[in-house]
Structure 1
Amino acid sequence: MENKNYDLILKELGLIEEKIIFKNDRKKRVTSLVKDNNDKNYILKWNCESNKKELENLKNEIIFYNKLKYNFIPKLMKHGKNYILIEYIESYSLREWTLNYLKLKKDDFLEDEFKIVIKKMCEIFSNFYLINDKIKFEKRQLHYELKEMSNKLLLSGPMGTKPNVFYKMTNSIVRKLFLEKRVLNIVGQVKDLKSSFIHRDLHLNNLLIEKNKNKLFLIDLENSSEGLIVRDLCYIYPMLYLLLEGKENHRSYLEKIFYEKHPDKNNLCEYKKINKFLLKVISLNNRFRKDISILQYLKLLKDFILIKEEKVI
Structure 2
Amino acid sequence: MHAIAAFEPLPIADHDSLRDVEVPDPTPGPLDVLIRVEAVSVNPVDVKKRSGGYGRGAVGDEPRILGYDGAGTIVGVGAEVEGLAVGDEVWWAGDAGRQGANADLQAVDHRIVSRKPESASFADAAALPLTALTAWEGMFDHLRISREDTATMLVVGGAGGVGSILTQLAKRLTALRIIATAGRPETEAWCLRMGADAVADHHDLVASVEKLAPAGVDSIFSSYTPGNIGHYAKLIKPFGGIVSIDGTDESLLPLFSKSASMHWEYMFARSRYGTWDIAEQGRILDEVAELVDRGDIVPTATEHIAAFSAAGLREAHRLVESQSMIGKVVVHR
TM-score by length of 1: 0.27
| The structure with more helix, counted as a fraction of residues | 1
TM-score by length of 2: 0.25
